[in-house]
Amino acid sequence: MRTLTEEMADDFFFVHTSLVHGALKKCGVLRSNQNYDDLVQIGLLTLVKVYEQFPEDLCEEEYFYQFTGFAFQKIKWAVIDELRKYQLKKEREETVSEFFDDEAESSRDKNEDWIVWQLFPSMLDCLAPNEQIYLKETVLNQLSVTDIARKHKVSRKTVYQWKNRTALKLSHFKAVLTN
């Protein structure tokens, strides 16, 4: 097994990064996709793993082309796996995020909104500090998951975890408000 040294890294990525972008394009992932940068990183990590596992010498032309085909396929599979994970996460969040559904909020009358705002401090008391951050940023500042992640210098995955835990802990408030 070989390793990619720092001396070789620049040249290696210069030559092979196009495999990552090609695999993303083949999977239909555009630069406008919110997860594009994450998927590029996954592709690059997969590229390095494939390089380290590839048994033949890449200096020989025959093996170089075998490597590029092999690496492209592995990167494509890794991207597809990650896209599936994103889809599953999105589906789970949609079921959990009903509590934060804008349509449900807009259908409330002013009296119900007043009740919600009266309960807001109690809601915060039920939450851990990071979950409080999520609730405040979402409700008061109307920030997206990406904006919250940037503002608090954490990953989007972390913010999604805060969101899911918040929704679970506040589900009893939803039950009270909807009855």
Q: What share of the chain is helix, strand, coil (3-state, %, to 5)?
A: 80, 0, 20
Does domain 111-177 match CATH 1.20.59? no
Predicted confidence (pLDDT) per residue in 8-24, tens digit: 888 889 999 999 999 99
Nearest to 134 by CA among 152, 118, 110, 115: 152
The predicted structure's pLDDT at residue 178 = 59
Predicted confidence (pLDDT) per residue in 88-109, tens digit: 777 766 655 555 554 445 544 5
Q: Would you kindly state where each structural domain of the chain is located, as residue ranges?
A: 6-95, 111-177
pTM: 0.52
The predicted structure's pLDDT at residue 103 = 45
**How confident is the model over 40-49, as a mean pLDDT?**
94
Q: What's the mean pLDDT when you consider all of the chain?
A: 83
- Cβ atoms within 10 A of the Cβ of 175, count? 9
